[in-house]
Amino acid sequence: MPVTSVFPQLEALLPRINKPIQYVGGELNAQVKDWDSVEVHWALMYPDAYEVGLPNQGIMILYEVLNERADALAERTYAVWPDLAGLMREHGVPQFTVDAHRPVIDFDVLGISFATELGYTNMIEALDLAGIPLHTKDRNNEPLVIAGGHAAFNPEPIADFVDAAVLGDGEQVVGDITDVVKAWKGDGEPDGRLGLLSRMAKVDGVYVPRFYDVDYLPDGRIRRVTTNQSAVPYRVGKRTTMDLDEWPYPKQPLVPLAETVHERMSVEIFRGCTRGCRFCQAGMITRPVRERSITGIGEMVDAGLKASGYEEVGLLSLSSADHSEIGEIAKGLADRYEGTNTSLSLPSTRVDAFNVTLANELSRNGRRSGLTFAPEGGSERLRKVINKMVSKEDLIRTVSTAYANGWRQVKLYFMCGLPTETDEDVLEIADMAREVIKAGRAASGHKDIRCTVSIGGFVPKPHTPFQWAAQADHETIDRRLKLLRTAINSDRSVGRAIGVRYHDGKPGIVEGLLSRGDRRIGAVIEQVWRDGGRFDGWNEHFSYDRWMGACAEVLPAYGLDVDWFTTRERTEHEVLPWDHLDSGLDKEWLWADWQDALSEQEQDDCRWTPCFDCGVCPGMGTDIQIGPTGVRLLPLTPVATGS
């Protein structure tokens, strides 16, 4: 059956809204396949505005992987801004894809990638605009709604709304899901939607929430989670893509016409991180470290630049300077693109003088504006708690080198509200910033340098050693941030050279509620959406009062409140909502690491010291994949000298 484009109806609305270009598609390297030429149709959604969603690497990778299959197609859809959403409702235009403007409801699968929990209300809005029943139990012929991304490691708060959640890397599991959908359709759709879900639940890494029941204790804690189907696993394990060189995606990066948040192409140089920062969910759930080879990186950069025309390349990972051959990669790429106005960047830099050398190398062909370091904790004691092993001396030495090398601006990232934190820990940030400026003035020989302190509230996340921790309440966060600003501004000799950027504590409480929430939070999310909640990641749209209002309506029936989910410390044997979802980390190891945190014990990185038995490699059948390979990048003809 042919599926028709809604573009003619949409086109009439576009002159009346802001940023119409975000809805027309037509990006370079976008693909439109013939609907009837394939068996399985995927709509991939990033649940935020186009300008944020388009550069998302996960969506770009899956889009290409799926479109390469002869039996599948993938198109993209994003959250529509309220101005267009209102007009779409008024004129009966459903949620559509930007590629061929097909209605989302006509697809077989709607895959939504959640980088953050603050996209949940946008998912509900999209389902409603699409005409898909909000609850999985009310659906029949509509698309399978599947959540992925880091937030899917605790999908319990959205268990009512999604048919399935996928844990871990997506490259291979989307193929498995395609196979299942295709076979089920080929067999004549036996047992309807439940039949399909039963088959889905057998796919490694796929969790079907409705096949699991949750029982609660009288005090509100979870008693146990049990399966209500015979053939579903008691625990669902994550997927891990091994050998990144076999997955050189995106090969043809999508290049938008509209302005977006990242105007560059990105190459993921490795996945996973074992630095062991205890607050970092990404580092915990993406283990082990798997490096892309230096030659694989070189080929992706070359092909991606040719296919996109971008002038900046970001070398992405959770801690890019940790690639075993990063020095050679930086030098090889800088040599290759010398004189072409192509700039290279490492988005995350460790506090380490070597990183300044690296940054110098990478900025050879571009600007030298600012360097960013993330000590995260204000005091050395607190940095031991969070396992971010940086001494104050390291930091001063590193930034001095940076300023001496012509960098004029250094950004320092911190968190506030970390476990065991006191006012004094936070106030040490002011001392640190002052010393940075003094050392920088001495090293650079002039006063024209700046240091920006960026600080936000810490949110405990599932599958981390801090999953048991009490989140600091927003009053504490706001009070400490105020103390810090006062302390920084009090020293006039350096005050003007130090900028402070901070986020207030309230959004963090909502993020915390959604991060560690369970199925009872689903009704809160739905109520917030009904009250007009959208785009919760945007200051101008977020309303703390709306969230608290919905909580006050929903949670008392369970004898619970927001504090119970956020500022309450959990005990060792409490059943956590995500215990039946397996990131590979041993719960015993996580608890031991939490205890180590409380006694300020550090943990080394297993890439350079013996395995500390976090459990991931043996549990998932994976291994650390790192170099060095000893290979060098070959010089290529620079891209800008074409005839």
Partner 1 sequence: MGTRQPEGPPPPPTVQRLRIRYAKRGRLRFVSHRDFARAFERALRRSGVPIAFSAGFSPHPKISYVGAAPTGSASEAEYLEIGLQTETDPEQVRAALDMALPEGLDILEVLPAGPGGLPERIEASRWRIELPGFRTQALAAALQEFLARESVIVERVTKKGLRLLDARAAVVSARAVEGEGCAILDLVVRQVSPAVRPDDVLTALGAVAGLDGSLTSRSMRLAQGRLDVTTGVLTDPLGPDRAAAARDGALGET
**Chain positions contacting partner 1, by CB under 8 A:** 7, 11-12, 14-16, 20-21, 23-28, 255, 257-259, 263, 305-311, 339, 341, 367, 448, 639-643
Can you tell me whether residue 550 is helix, strand or coil? Answer: helix
Amino acid at 253: P
**Nearest distance from residue 482's CB to partner 1, in Å?**
34
Query: What whole-number distance in Å separates Cα of residue 501 and Cα of residue 275?
Result: 26
How would you write 561-623 as a 3-class SS string?
CHHHHCCCCCCCCCECCCCCEECCCCHHHHHHHHHHHHCCCCCCCCCCCCCCCCCHHHHHCCC
**Nearest distance from residue 24's CB to partner 1, in Å?**
4
- Phi first, then psi, for residue 419 (nearest 5°) are -55, 140
Output 9 or 295, the one with its CB closest to partner 1: 9
Lookup: tokens for 457: 């509230």
**Nearest distance from residue 638's CB to partner 1, in Å?**
10
Output 119 or 304, the one with its CB closest to partner 1: 304
Amino acid at 14: L
Query: What whole-number distance in Å separates Cα of residue 587 and Cα of residue 475?
Result: 31
The four Cα atoms 96, 29, 347, 639 give a dihedral, to 10 degrees, of: -160
Residue 343, strand partner residues:
312
Q: Are 544 and 508 in contact (CB under 8 A)?
A: no
- Phi first, then psi, for residue 96 (nearest 5°) are -130, 165
Output 136 or 308, the one with its CB closest to partner 1: 308
Q: Where are the alpha helices (DSSP H) in 413-532?
A: 423-444, 474-490, 492-495, 506-515, 522-530
**Judging by DSSP bridges, how do beta strands 343-345 and 312-316 pair with one another?**
parallel
**Nearest distance from residue 439's CB to partner 1, in Å?**
22
Output 29 or 324, the one with its CB closest to partner 1: 29
**Nearest distance from residue 253's CB to partner 1, in Å?**
11
- Sequence-ordered list of residues with C-beta below 8 angstroms from that of 530, at least 6 positions apart, any chain: none
Query: What whole-number distance in Å separates Cα of residue 308 and Cα of residue 382?
Result: 43
**Nearest distance from residue 444's CB to partner 1, in Å?**
13
Output 23 or 249, the one with its CB closest to partner 1: 23
Distances (CA, A) of 458 to 151, 483, 486: 16, 17, 21
Angle of CA points 192, 195, 197, to nearest 5°: 110
**Nearest distance from residue 331's CB to partner 1, in Å?**
17
Can you tell me whether residue 411 is helix, strand or coil? Answer: strand
Query: What whole-number distance in Å separates Cα of residue 557 and Cα of residue 553?
Result: 8
Query: What whole-number distance in Å separates Cα of residue 385 and Cα of residue 276?
Result: 11
**Nearest distance from residue 320's CB to partner 1, in Å?**
24
Output 619 or 638, the one with its CB closest to partner 1: 638
Output 299 or 311, the one with its CB closest to partner 1: 311
**Nearest distance from residue 449's CB to partner 1, in Å?**
13
Output 344 or 484, the one with its CB closest to partner 1: 344
Q: Which of 159, 129, 176 is nearest to 523 (CA)?
A: 159
**Judging by DSSP bridges, how do beta strands 72-78 and 40-46 pair with one another?**
parallel
**Nearest distance from residue 100's CB to partner 1, in Å?**
11
**Nearest distance from residue 628's CB to partner 1, in Å?**
31
**Nearest distance from residue 505's CB to partner 1, in Å?**
33
Query: What whole-number distance in Å separates Cα of residue 138 and Cα of residue 146?
Result: 15
Output 190 or 309, the one with its CB closest to partner 1: 309
Q: In terms of residues, how long is the chain?
A: 643
Output 311 or 322, the one with its CB closest to partner 1: 311
